[in-house]
Structure 1
Amino acid sequence: MVRNQNKFKIFHHSSYMPIITIQMSEGRTIEQKKTVASAITQTVANTFSIDPAAVIILFQELPRECIAKGGELVSGGKQ
């Protein structure tokens, strides 16, 4: 998948491209996500000895009514 278009550029960096998915409830700010992305990127890049540009982080935000902990929905209702 080698193309010069920007939307494909993400896949060129390395054959060791780690993709990290963070699943969390909705409500985090852009600044919080930037801080987490930066910290995780640096840790992974240093640990794997790769270019930080090769690290991809995906944030999956879930509605609180779609998350249960200890048998109860995080939104407050029972399962």
Structure 2
Amino acid sequence: MPYVTVKMLEGRTDEQKKALVDKVTEAVVETTGASVDKVVVFIEEMKKNHYAVAGKLESEK
């Protein structure tokens, strides 16, 4: 049973997350041969003040 974790900043719509889950699931099925009902996708959303690049919090941008 393949498990996939996607970490991303908060702010996407439910429709965007659904599209992401569909595409990730499709890619896993195509590349591993796993059946679609065995693919598990976790979305972990991070608050923008919990993520920084080059010393700057995303919430500061």
Q: Gaps spanning 5+ residues in structure 2: where?
A: none
1:25-36 alignment runs, 5 A limit:
25-36=9-20
Aligned partner of 2:45 in structure 1 is 61
What is the distance in 1 between the residues matched to 2:21 and 2:32? 16
More strand by share: 2
TM-score computed with the length of structure 1 as normaliser: 0.72
TM-score computed with the length of structure 2 as normaliser: 0.92
What whole-Å deviation, never above 9, does each CA across 1:5-26 have from its counterpart, x for those lacking one? xxxxxxxxxxxx1111111111
| SS across alignment from 1:75 | helix
| SS across alignment from 2:60 | coil
8 Å contact 2:2–2:34 — kept in the other structure? no
Larger Rg: 1
List 4+ stretches of structure 1 deviating above 3 A: none
RMSD of aligned alpha carbons: 1.2
Q: 2:34 aligns with which of 46, 50, 60?
A: 50
What is the distance in 2 between the residues matched to 1:30 and 1:74? 21
Q: Gaps spanning 5+ residues in structure 1: where?
A: 1-16
More helix by share: 2
